[in-house]
Amino acid sequence: MKGRVSQIDHVGIYVADMDAAVVFWRDVVGLDVVGPEDVPEHGIRLAHVCVNGVELELIEAPVEKTQLRHMAHRGPGIYHVGLRTDDVAEAMKRLHAAGLRPLDSEPREGEGMRVQFASPDGASQGVMIELVERLRPGPAERER
């Protein structure tokens, strides 16, 4: 079925201090960290923590520059779950039909992905979902 979710792509974690977060995940927990890198076109900094094919996406940015502005809790912590699909638009149609409101009017591209966010309100019970169609392998896949 086109647009079917096939796996968890990543978990987005909003951080208040990227440098401290990198030290924690790399030096305390002992995981590989890619980055951080500035993404000036979006006004954010990203780092990717990779472990056994799973990616934690660390995000540092002003809340108003992120979809975090739609969440009840707007501080550090888990921000969204990225779900991998082969067709973001089709997957969003199914989520929308189930009552989730798209936060982006259309899928958008960046960082080797086509993505679209769904509101944390309604059927997802407070969980923001980012649908992800990979245009090239992500950091966790390159780790393997």
Dump pLDDT digits (tens) for 47-103.
999 888 888 999 998 888 788 788 777 888 888 999 999 999 999 998 898 888 999
Residues 19-39, mean pLDDT to the nearest whole number: 91
pLDDT of residue 66: 81
Query: What is the 3 state secondary structure string of the chain?
Result: CCCCEEEEEEEEEECCCHHHHHHHHHHHCCCEEEEEEEECCCCEEEEEEEECCEEEEEEECCHHHCHHHHCCCCCCEEEEEEEEECCHHHHHHHHHHCCCCECCCCCEEECCEEEEEECCCCCCCCCCEEEEEECCCCHHHHHC
Residue 138 vs residue 48, higher pLDDT = 48
CATH number, domain 5-143: 3.10.180.10
pLDDT of residue 142: 66
Predicted TM-score (pTM) of the model is 0.78
